[in-house]
Amino acid sequence: MTAGRLAASLALAVLAATTAACTSSSGDSPAGEARTTLTVGAASSLTDVFEQIATDFTEANPDVIVAFSFAASSALAEQIRGGAPLDVFASAGRTAMEPLVAEGLVTGVADFATNALQIATPPGNPAGVTRLADLPNVSVLVCEKQVPCGVAAMELFERNSLAVSPVSFESDVRSVLTKIEADEADAGIVYVTDVIAAGAKVVGIAIPSDANVTSIYQAAVVAESARADAAARFVAFLTGPQAQAALAAAGFDGAS
Amino acid sequence: MSLDPSVMTTRRTTPIPVGILAAVGVAFLAIPLVGLLLRTPWSRLPELLTSPVATEALRLSLITSISATVLAVLVGVPLAWVLARARVPGRTFIRALVTLPLVLPPVVGGVALLLAFGRRGLVGQYLYDWFGIQLPFSTAGVILAEAFVAMPFLVITVEGALRSADPRFEEAAATLGAKRWTILRRITLPLIGPALLAGTILAWARALGEFGATITFAGNLPGVTQTLPLAVYSALDTDREAAIALSLVLLLASLAVLLLLRDRYLRGGSS
Amino acid sequence: MSLHAELALERPAFTLDLMLDASDGQTIGLLGPNGSGKSTTLRCLAGLEQPQRGVVEITGTTVTDTARGIDVPPERRSVGYVFQDYLLFPHMSVLDNVSFGLRARGAGRKEADAAARAWLERLDIADLATRRPGQLSGGQAQRVALARALVTDPDLLLLDEPLAALDAGTRASVRSLLRRHLADFRGAVVLVTHDPMDAMVLADRVVVLEEGRVVQTGTPGEIARRPASDYVAQLVGVNMLRGHAADGTVSLAGGGEIRIADQAIVGTVIVALRPEAISVHLHHPEGSARNVWQASVTALESRGDLVRVELDGPPTVTAVITPGAVADLGLHEGARVWLSAKATELDVYPA
């Protein structure tokens, strides 16, 4: 066999293998198992709590495996628009969900949690931030303006007439958190749940509820999903007692 | 009857499997670029490219990439000289160190820079505590991140040229009475001129396109740290067309670099 | 003394150990096979290399003294160096190349260029001023290299195989040009070559170097007449026979005997016999030549208008005769002939 032919055969083999892998990963497995893999695109602020919820869900629904893609809600919305194979979309706030509803790309939207903002400071709070009014005087990190967390942060500043010039607009809330943990900036605007999840790595400064911005978390089934049935079950599970308990434990407020 | 090489002709036709794979390769590289060009919102282009976000990003990118290149040249040329000519111990180690940013994922580079120059970083903490200087979230931070990834290109090109240059010209210059600085200025550097230029252009192109280290280390703030690549990333989820327009600018810059360098430089070595 | 040097250094190929003296205006020819240490000597004189032990003094100034830790770098020595492959700076014009030494030492562009032009005129290459080294012929490049070295008015001029890169035709004319300019140079000159013609034509004194050691010094004529080693003998084309002399007869080391004119000389001697002084005969010659012996032709080699005939005796010698003679005698490899050489044609000296 000449080198050329060998190379061509190898290439074809590789192509065939990858195509096979692609088609078999999603969708139904060979007869006898019938386990579905559900791909959930969720806001990064849901990272830890959704892992817990996934375990609970699979216990209750053994025929479904849940796989996650955590990113900024706006990025996920864009992916869905682009036809990404997501089955469920869990958004941190209405701003990312609404356009998809209008475009008919999602169905069965349900509110499942609310989240409030909190100020996170590095361990020991070196800049001595105690309240919102301190923010204009220190270096602040927020999420990008189109990310729900960023939208909320901007709203927070506006509502409280704060002239804050953030030093950076991070791509998602977890990036903000990581940089605050590393003491790269004096304060970051993140969700209450993020501060809880970070534990001792950051110090949380509460924002009075009358000054705060609430984000309503919504989940929906992606219209193009081939596993709409399983997806709907997941969305329903989110509003059920088990998920709500997990969410509450993580610091989310109820869906009301 | 012996074979005379001068009258033998070689068969120039490409074997079919090689041709197919080559075509796949070309398609693989060309299709994304063609896609970009086809999806460019030509009618909106002037408006998109003159928007505040775009002009800020463009201005910032030019300033930082050129500054980073200057930094890379100022530090990189002496470094290349040491690697090529001086007899310091641990040269292999230094060379590996210089090559590292080439193979390191840029984000990892950004993390490393944070750990070194961040507010609580190895060096950064002194910069902050003693001088109040904070490199993350500053334009200087962008320049540093870009220089970090761009310098290896310059050092490697220049080192290669210095190694292949005949050191005896420098000896001849010495016998004529030239001191070391004169030799460097009038003999060594001019002799490696083409390679130096190629290395500089490559470094500039790399600095211009840097994303991972910049966003991780310097952050993302329009006008301060949001370079063109970062602006593209930010625009992706809000104004797709703006993202495409900015991508086009970067594509044109890359093409310009390729044209400037032309084949012979990219094939390695000076003319 | 314009130049005084004592150099000792060790290399894998040889151990250099020599002493060199030259007075103003004198040209020393350093002659030897490749790898004998000639170039290393020049580099030590220029300061491009340091001997392990040694001293170099140029017009009274000590530039190297290993014992006292003195090592003046090349740029501060007053030395002009013409390299074997000239090393003209490829990115500069001929004029800039020649003026480089002056400008490097701080001269302004105008004066440097004027001085450079003067030298180009002197060497008859003024019209090449704007050319690049890549556009020059071998002979032209050599002259540019010479001008470049001389423009700074050095105290010592070093030439490394100056004619080696030239083809045979150019060599002769450049050699005579070089001879003229070396004669004009007021300082000492050390010229390194493996070509004895260069040494003969250009040098006032020749130092023969073999494997780092000086095997002979003297004027070109002395070296040619009385080579002290096989290498030199081969270079100058003289037959060199070693043996023990007593009562006008030398018993040769390789076998055979030679009658010499000097009856008094005793002991180990070298007998130098010029190839031209050997006559070749088909039959035993009758005549006054005291030395007659039989030999076989082992090789015939054309050398210009003449033919060199290698013969084994003993003793093994080389003779030079005309092609006509070769034809008349019907010489061919393996032919048996008779050789004769007059005792008066032999040069005998103690080994």
Q: Which of these, C176, C180, C206, C177, lies nearest to C193 by C-alpha position?
A: C206
Confidence of residue B160 (pLDDT cuts 50, 70, 90): very high
In this structure, are residues B58 and B66 in contact, taking their beta carbons and an 8 Å threshold? no
Average per-residue pLDDT for chain A: 86
State the residue range of the domain holding C228: 3-233
The CATH number linked to A183 is 3.40.190.10
State the residue range of the domain holding A51: 34-114+216-250
The yes-or-no reply on A/B contact (3 CB pairs or more, < 8 Å) is yes
* AA letter at C302: S
pLDDT at C181: 87
Q: C239 has which bridge partners?
A: C273
Cα C46 → chain centroid = 20
pLDDT < 70 regions, chain C: 351
Q: Are residues C330 and C213 in the same domain?
A: no
Q: In chain C, which residue's Cα lies nearest the Cα of B191?
A: C91
From CA A140, how far away is CA A117, in angstroms rounded? 14
Q: Are residues C76 and C216 in the same domain?
A: yes
pLDDT tens for each residue of B41-70? 888 888 888 888 888 899 999 999 999 999
Which segments within B66-191 are labelled E, that is strand? none
The CATH number linked to C321 is 2.40.50.100
pLDDT at B157: 93
Q: Are residues A109 and A43 in the same domain?
A: yes
Using the predicted structure, report yes or no on whether residue A7 has a pLDDT greater than 70: no
- Chain C, 14 to 33: residues with Cβ < 8 Å from chain B are none
- Retrieve residue A252's tokens: 């989310």
| pTM score, whole prediction | 0.70
From CA B126, how far away is CA B128, in angstroms rounded? 5
Q: Are residues C13 and C143 in the same domain?
A: yes
Using the predicted structure, report yes or no on whether residue A104 has a pLDDT greater than 50: yes
Nearest to A167 among B24, B219, B233 (CB): B219
| A97 reaches B (C-beta below 8 A) | no
Using the predicted structure, report yes or no on whether residue A110 has a pLDDT greater than 70: yes
Q: Are residues A65 and A181 in the same domain?
A: no
The CATH number linked to C178 is 3.40.50.300
Q: Are residues C229 and C249 in the same domain?
A: no
DSSP B215: I
Using the predicted structure, report yes or no on whether residue A1 has a pLDDT greater than 60: no
pLDDT tens for each residue of B72-104? 999 999 999 899 988 888 888 999 999 899 899
- Retrieve residue C340's tokens: 């004769």
pLDDT tens for each residue of A161-188? 999 999 999 988 888 998 999 888 999 9
pLDDT at A185: 92
Q: Are residues C121 and C50 in the same domain?
A: yes
Cα four-point dihedral sign A129, A131, A136, A141: positive
| A109 reaches B (C-beta below 8 A) | no
Q: Are residues C297 and C334 in the same domain?
A: yes
Task: Tell me the shortest Cα–Cα distance from B169 to chain C, in angstroms.
Answer: 6
Q: Are residues C115 and C260 in the same domain?
A: no
Residues of B with Cβ-Cβ distance to C134 under 8 angstroms: none
Residue C239, in any domain of the structure: no
Confidence of residue A11 (pLDDT cuts 50, 70, 90): low
Q: Are residues A203 and A223 in the same domain?
A: no
Q: Are residues A125 and A239 in the same domain?
A: no
Neighbours of C236 (CB within 10 A): 21
| B179 reaches C (C-beta below 8 A) | yes
pLDDT at C323: 87
Mutate to test the interface with B, among A145, A169, A176, A186 (most CBs of B within 10 A): A169
In this structure, are residues C320 and C303 in contact, taking their beta carbons and an 8 Å threshold? yes
- Given C209, C233, C257, which residue is the final one in a domain? C233
| A168 reaches B (C-beta below 8 A) | yes
Q: Are residues C215 and C127 in the same domain?
A: yes
pLDDT at C271: 83
- Given C233, C254, C271, which residue is the final one in a domain? C233
Using CB atoms, list chains with 3+ pairs below 8 Å to chain B.
A, C
Q: Report the share of chain B in percent with pLDDT over 70.
A: 92
Neighbours of B149 (CB within 10 A): 26
Task: Tell me the shortest Cα–Cα distance from A139 to chain B, in angstroms.
Answer: 9
Q: Report the share of chain A in percent with pLDDT over 90.
A: 54
Confidence of residue A24 (pLDDT cuts 50, 70, 90): very low
What is the H or E stretch that residue A223 is in? none
Average per-residue pLDDT for chain B: 87
Q: What DSSP letter does each residue of B2-31 carry, written as one string? A: ---GGG-----PPPHHHHHHHHHHHHHHHH
- Mention every residue, 6+ apart, whose C-beta is less than 8 A from residue B65: B146, B204, B207, B208, B227
Residues of B with Cβ-Cβ distance to A74 under 8 angstroms: 237-238
Q: In chain C, which residue's Cα lies nearest the Cα of B187?
A: C89
Cα A254 → chain centroid = 17
Q: Are residues A108 and A234 in the same domain?
A: yes
Class of domain B57-266: mainly alpha
Using CB atoms, list chains with 3+ pairs below 8 Å to chain C.
B
**Helices B139-164, B52-85: inter-axial angle, 10-degree rounding:** 40
Spans of all domains in chain B: 57-266
Using the predicted structure, report yes or no on whether residue B6 has a pLDDT greater than 70: no
Q: Are residues A110 and A42 in the same domain?
A: yes
- Mention every residue, 6+ apart, whose C-beta is less than 8 A from residue A148: A43, A72, A73, A74, A91, A92, A93, A95, A96, A215
From CA C296, how far away is CA C322, in angstroms rounded? 18
Residue A189, in any domain of the structure: yes
Question: Is this prediction's ipTM beyond 0.95?
Answer: no
Which phi and psi angles does A253 have, rounded to 5°? -95, 165
Q: Are residues A96 and A152 in the same domain?
A: no
pLDDT tens for each residue of B211-259? 999 999 998 988 899 999 999 988 887 788 888 889 888 888 888 887 7
Q: Are residues C261 and C345 in the same domain?
A: yes
Structural domains counted in chain C: 2
Structural domains counted in chain A: 2
Q: Are residues A202 and A236 in the same domain?
A: no
Q: Are residues C146 and C207 in the same domain?
A: yes
Using alpha carbons only, give the angle C24, C28, C34 rounded to the nearest 5 degrees.
150
DSSP A199: G
| A8 reaches B (C-beta below 8 A) | yes
From CA A167, how far away is CA B220, in angstroms rounded? 8
Task: Tell me the shortest Cα–Cα distance from B219 to chain A, in angstroms.
Answer: 5
C-alpha distance from residue A107 to each of A78, A150, A218, A233, C87 (Å): 16, 25, 11, 13, 80
Residue C238, in any domain of the structure: no
For C304, the 3-state DSSP assignment is coil
Q: Are residues C147 and C171 in the same domain?
A: yes
Asked if B237's CB is within 8 angstroms of A146's CB, the reply is yes
Mutate to test the interface with B, among C87, C144, C146 (most CBs of B within 10 A): C87
Using the predicted structure, report yes or no on whether residue A76 has a pLDDT greater than 80: yes
Task: Tell me the shortest Cα–Cα distance from B119 to chain A, in angstroms.
Answer: 5
Q: Are residues A121 and A231 in the same domain?
A: no
From CA A120, how far away is CA A193, in angstroms rounded? 11
Residue C181, in any domain of the structure: yes
* Longest CA pairwise span in chain C (Å): 78
Using the predicted structure, report yes or no on whether residue B270 has a pLDDT greater than 50: no
Q: Are residues A200 and A221 in the same domain?
A: no
Q: Are residues C218 and C292 in the same domain?
A: no
Asked if A182's CB is within 8 angstroms of B120's CB, the reply is yes
Asked if A171's CB is within 8 angstroms of B220's CB, the reply is yes
pLDDT at B269: 43
